[in-house]
Structure 1
Amino acid sequence: MLTVGDTLPSFNLKAVPAGQPQNPSEAFVEINDKSYEGKWLVLFAWPKDFTFVCPTEIAAFSQMNEEFADRDAQILGLSTDSEFVHLAWKRDHEDLRDLKFPMLSDLKRELSQSLGILDKNEGVDLRATFIVDPDGIIRHVAVNDLSVGRNPQETLRILDALQTDELCPCNWQQGEEVLKVA
C-alpha cells in the first residue's frame, strides 16, 4: 500500500460528476490526476455501491464538501464499480442524489491496485482515505475494515493540521495553538 511521502499514481478514470446530470451527455466525465492541479485532494474509496455503510460515509463527505472546498481541497470518491452503477446508485439513493463531488469508477482496478487498497479476499476497495498535497504527495493514509465507516470530520481535522505545516498535538483543532520548539 502506498503511504505518506509517496506520489499519487497517475490515473484517468470515468466518473459521475457532482450534482445531478440533467441529460445523458452530462452523465459522465473523465477525471485524471491533473484535473485539480494546485489543490489538495481527499481521495476516499469504498467497497461497493448499493451497500449499507458506504452511503453513510459518502453522504457525510458530501455534507462537508464546502468545508473541504474552503481549504482548497477537492473530494474524490472511488470504487471499483462502473460509472453506470454509480449513476444508478445516485439516482436510486436519496442521500446520494445531489453529491457535491465526483464518483470515480476504477472498473479495471488500476488505481486501486497502484494504491494497494484492494481487499485480498473480496477484490474490492478497502475503506481507504488519502490526503494528497498540491504537489501530488500523499500526506495522510487511513484504512478501515470493510465493516467500519470512517469519520469525515477527522479527515478535515487532519487536513487542517497538515495545512498549518506546524507541529499539531493530539486532538488539535483549527484555530488552536500549535506546538513551538523551544
Structure 2
Amino acid sequence: MSDQKGSDRPPQPPDIRRRLCFERFHLVGLLVFVAVPVLALLGVFGERWGRVQARAGALELRVLYPERYRYRQISSVEVLVTNTSGRRIDTLTVAFDTAYISRFSNIMISPPPVRGYEVDLLDVEPGGTRLVVAEIQGFRYWRHRGQVTAAAGTDTVRVDLETLVFP
C-alpha cells in the first residue's frame, strides 16, 4: 500500500504529551491499596500477646493472653497463681469474667471449672505455683474486656484483659 508520493510508510502519529491523571477517589483507593500490605508487613494485623501481673496479700497472679488475633483462630489464656505466703492455702479460686470469656467459642478450661468459669485449686503449698489454661476460639469481632480473679480467704487479686478479634 502506498500513497501518491510513493512512500511505503504510514504517516507518523501526532505528538501527545503523556500524563497520569487521578481523580480524588482514585488517590484514596491507591493509598488504601498500598497501606494494607505495608501495615501487614509491620505486624498490625498479626497475633499479639499481652502479659499482666498483680499481687495482693498472699497471692501473685500472672496472665498471658491474646491481645489481638483473628476470627475463628484458637488461642489460650494462661493463668499462673503463686502462693506467696508462708502457709498452705486449702482452696484457691481462679475465676474468668463471664463478660470476657463468653465472647469466645469452644472454651476449654484446664483444670475443669467447678462452677461457671471458676476453677478451684486445692492444697497450694507455700511458694507453690499453679497453672490454669483456658483455650478459646475467636467468635465475635472487635474488642472484648474482662478480668481474671484469684481469691483465697480474704486475699483477692485481679488483672484486666482486653482482646481484639479481627474479622
> TM over 0.5: same fold?
no
Greater RCO (Cα-Cα under 8 Å, separation 6 or more):
1
- TM-score relative to the length of structure 2: 0.25
- TM-score relative to the length of structure 1: 0.23
Name the structure where helix makes up a greater proportion of residues: 1
If you compute each CA radius of gyration, which structure gives the higher value, 1 or 2?
2
Name the structure where strand makes up a greater proportion of residues: 2
